[in-house]
Chains A and B, each alone.
Chain A
Amino acid sequence: MMKRLLVLLAVLALVAAACGGESETDDTTEPTETTAAATETTAATGGGDVGQAGEGGTLAAVQARGTLICGVNNGVPGFGFVDDTGTFSGFDVDYCRAIAAAVLGDSEAVEFRVVEAADRGTVIQTGEVDVLIRNTTYTQSRDAQWGGDFGVTTFYDGQGFMGLQSAGVTADSGPEVWDGAVVCTIQGTTSELNATNLAQVSGVTIDLVTYADADGYMNALQSGQCDIATTDKSQLASRKATASPAEFSEDLIIPGFTFSKEPLGPVYQANDSQWGDVVNWTVFATLIAEEKGITSATLADYLSSNPDDTEAARLFGAAEDQLQGDMGLDPLAFANVITQVGSYAEIYERNLGPDTPFNLPRGLNELWSNGGLLYPPPAR
């Protein structure tokens, strides 16, 4: 009996092995079937003249699939995190939702894929995600070597450092306080390169320790294992704001000194300009909405009370001469972005603004008209 049982077990295990393999089918057979469907869908949504959209590419794939696969972070407060009900939230996550709203008309039609810092290049290279919005700095080397293209910057950041007032760091401190210090940062980021570079050009010797995550350097800083923590200022500020206990949080100081440019934005696979247009214009739409003072609640009112604003009418699909169709999108694509997710100001306030624990000032991330760097091209 035992023997027969074991034989049965072995055979069933073999079958199980086979069944394990089968789930690939799910993903394998689909694309072949879907490419055809993709063309149909695109043709249907895009209206008459969507020649280029029919050729496939990421847009067609996303529309056929019905969900957007967005590479995000699951552990950066304010930018990409998961709340206790399992919902993804944050500034970057909201831009994923915005793109889904534009492409699919539903900001919930996103499948989030968690991407580790060190794997960002790979998921772009292999096309595993449709778009990666995960605190990624736009640099020449990444543009050249990752096999991806960078979209328009959603958040202008710069690297700074954080130290303890009790140790003598002041608001005016510069790289000279780094001399002989243990400097901590996050592994696999541009911060690592910038810190090395700054130490070299300022002629100070440092001990550079690279942690896998922000909790790592914060614990090290609190304990005195590190003297200085350095990374993007937005992250430092949010960490300072949420550090506990309160005495530690008050002791932390971020000097005004900034030593790098960190434009953070979406990344997608190279050589897909149609998809690039969709991603970028989603961002621009949120910016233009802010320029015009439109919010998710006021879009309809604005369009009806400002019939002269032909730009808004075109962009938000209220006019006949809308251009979304040419992009392979629904005429109401960007209207959906605003009504379902909101303008740039709304997204910022919701995730990083005064009502959040971080209370990050807008700084460079103001509209150009308010002295910031956000300068969307006209929707014409």
Chain B
Amino acid sequence: MASMNTSERPAQDKQRVPLWRNVTFLKWMLQIVFLVVLVGFAWIAIRQVADNLRRIGLDFSWDFLDEPVGFQISEGIFINPQTGWQALFTGMVNMLRITISGIVAATILGVVVGIARLSSNALVKGVATVFVETIRNIPLLVQIIFWLAFVQLTFPRLSLDSGPIPGWLYVSRKGVSFAWLFPQDTFWQWVVGLIVAWLVARYVYRRLFHKRELTGEETHAGMWALVVFLAIAVLAWFANPVFGVLSYLFGAITALLEALPTIAMQLVLAGLLLFAAGMFIKRFLDSRRTPAGLAKLTDDDYFRLISAGVLGAVGAVIALVVPGIGEAVLTWGARFFEFVQGKFDFNTGPPLQGARPTLAQAGLFANYEDTGLTMSPGFFSVWLGVVLYTGAFIAEIVRGGILAVSKGQTEAGLAMGLRRSQLLRFIILPQAFRIILPPLGNQYLNLAKNTSLGVAVAFPEVVAVGQTVFNQRGVSVQIILFWMAFYLMVSLTISVIVNYFNRRLQLVER
């Protein structure tokens, strides 16, 4: 920050200033004291927790992850989880399902409502305003419970002759079940084909675009790229077993990891860490290099360089001293590649297979078979709840973003003879998007966190499942740490993705 340079100056005449007036010394002293106090309190707290746990007779073990849990989950990957880990994993996947589909839907809804709030039609504008002001101002928990009530009160009961489109789509109080494409054994072989298609199409697009820029002749770059992509994708649909060849590659990696002695892995890990630290330092110095030589480094720069170096070195030493880490990387790596290898087994058949929902009545009650894709009432309520709630906030962000695009842009666009819809699409939204992306990222984070309310409507996401596990097993402390770690991971992933787009979208002005 700006104050840095000014505060640096006294440091130059060090010998004349007594130590306790030396700003640099005082700053570092202050920070170190702060760190010591912080670490001290943390240490006292942790010791206290350990003491208390011992006193109550609780052991802090993670064994429950591998032990049977004995309860069933209403929906997800493992309906009958065999271990604690499988139960939590099911909850995590359920949470991610809502988060990902919810982010897409909330964005669309938010943009539509945000534009509607600026509509020239008074009714549309009014309804959009009422929608935003109602949804934003009521706790989400209440809304989610009401969406469940909505399903329970308005949807029809399920019977064998339910509809509305028998064999394709069923809507009932037991959920919505519809036809869907499901990945088959050959799916991943086809995905590799798609990646290849995308790479080739990108190459074609760039070549043609470049040519157009040079010659000015219309080359239809986008169209050709699409044609090439589709052609290869269709080809790969039928020829996907070709990519089964990859199984040899992954098999070889697995074999290598299994054969490698632990010490080799330790060396590799240590080397990698040191290399990463070295690269960071080199890049950092490069970035500070000006034509006039290396710029003066601030305290902060030194801190970064030193901590990068120290972290790299400490990491390398730990990797070398603790053989368990190398071993874990080896075994989990081998397991992972073995798992991947299994996806490329020269399987034949179409990569995706459509399946239609079916109804069955084993005893007294009609129920969905798991052939189609079924959206349970719990899923529906949480999903709709977070989508509407987040959508209302996004609408306000979009509205603000559009209003922030200067009026001159609108006038210029209209002067060029653009229609209102064209104006919105080509002039306003692209510029507004740049403004709204950072707050949008915050809303995505909120959406992910708000899925934790699923327990209120019997949707088994990770908090609900975790609560059941800790209630049955008494492992509350572990489950809370597990939740926090999981949510942090999801939040960080969302942040990284949003930041990536944010960087790409920023105007390079200066």
Contact = CB atoms under 8 A, between A and B. Distances in A.
Interface of A: 117-118, 120-122, 125-126, 141-142, 145-147, 167-169, 176-182, 184, 187-189, 192-193, 195-197, 199, 204-212, 216, 219-220, 222-225, 227, 270
9 contacts: A125-B56, A168-B364, A188-B467, A208-B71, A219-B149, A220-B377, A220-B458, A225-B377, A270-B56
Given A187-B467, A210-B74, A224-B157, A180 B362 contact: yes
Given A122-B476, A180-B365, A209-B458, A220 B152 contact: yes
Contacts of A189: 471
Interface residues on B, range: 35 or more
Contacts of B71: 192-193, 196, 208
A371 to B, nearest CB: 33
Contacts, number: 132
Contact of B455 (A146, A176, A212): A212
List of 3 A-B pairs having minimum Cβ-Cβ separation, nearest first:
A180-B362, A223-B152, A145-B474
B72 interface: yes
Given A209-B74, A216-B458, A225 B174 contact: yes
A369 B15 CA distance: 97
A141 B472 CA distance: 8
Contact of A187 (B56, B70, B361, B468): B468
Contacts of A181: 363-365, 367
Contacts of B23: none
B325 interface: no
A270 B57 CA distance: 9
Contacts of A122: 476
Contacts of B365: 167, 180-182, 227
Interface string B459-497: 010001001101111101000000000000000000000
Interface of B: 52, 56-58, 70-75, 80, 148-149, 151-153, 157-158, 172-174, 360-367, 376-378, 455-458, 460, 464, 467-468, 470-474, 476
B471 A180 contact: no
B85 to A, nearest CB: 17
A193 B363 contact: no
A205 B361 CA distance: 12
A225 B464 contact: no
Nearest to B454: A212
A319 B149 CA distance: 61
Contact of B364 (A117, A195, A208, A227): A227
Contacts of B57: 147, 270
A59 to B, nearest CB: 19
Contacts of B476: 121-122, 125
A302 to B, nearest CB: 43
B173 A208 contact: no
A138 to B, nearest CB: 15
Given A169-B364, A211-B458, A118 B470 contact: yes
A168 B473 CA distance: 37
